[in-house]
Amino acid sequence: MGLTMDSDRFWHLVGQARVLAADPADAEKVAIHATTTFADHQPAEILQAERILWDLTAASYLAPLSAAAYQITAGCSDYGFDYFRGWLIAQGHATSEQGRTAWPTLPPSNRLPQRAGTSREKPGRIR
């Protein structure tokens, strides 16, 4: 392909993966299609996409989002919060941004992954 991977292109490819998934709310199916979609790119682009993903994951490591995950899933371990943030990114750019900035408006829990963590432990230390 030869293009540089930037945030807009990353989100476009996530959107393509969501279209290919039978259920775009299913983060695992989106991830499978995203893996295939990104694999068609040059190694340098894949590494750039990985960096964008890591940056998005780090940017979503927020106490209000952890609190939302804890409330929505009736408890959320550290591992569950990681899974929740991955699910949020797999929902696409708009939902991911909404989750980071306006956590009370997240979708109802029946659209969230069951594995998001159900322990009653308090969320870990988060900024």
Cα separation, 74 vs 98, whole angstroms: 20
Q: Is the pLDDT of residue 90 over 90?
A: yes
Helix axes 63-72, 78-90, angle to 10 degrees: 90
Cα-trace Rg, the chain: 15
Q: Is the pLDDT of residue 17 over 90?
A: yes
Domain boundaries, the chain: 7-116
- Whether the Cβ atoms of residue 80 and residue 73 lie closer than 8 Å to each other: yes
Cα separation, 13 vs 2, whole angstroms: 15
Q: What is the mean pLDDT of residues 4-21?
A: 94
- Whether the Cβ atoms of residue 21 and residue 30 lie closer than 8 Å to each other: yes
Write the pLDDT tens digit of every residue in 96-120.
Answer: 888 877 765 555 544 455 544 444 4
Q: How many residues does the chain have?
A: 127
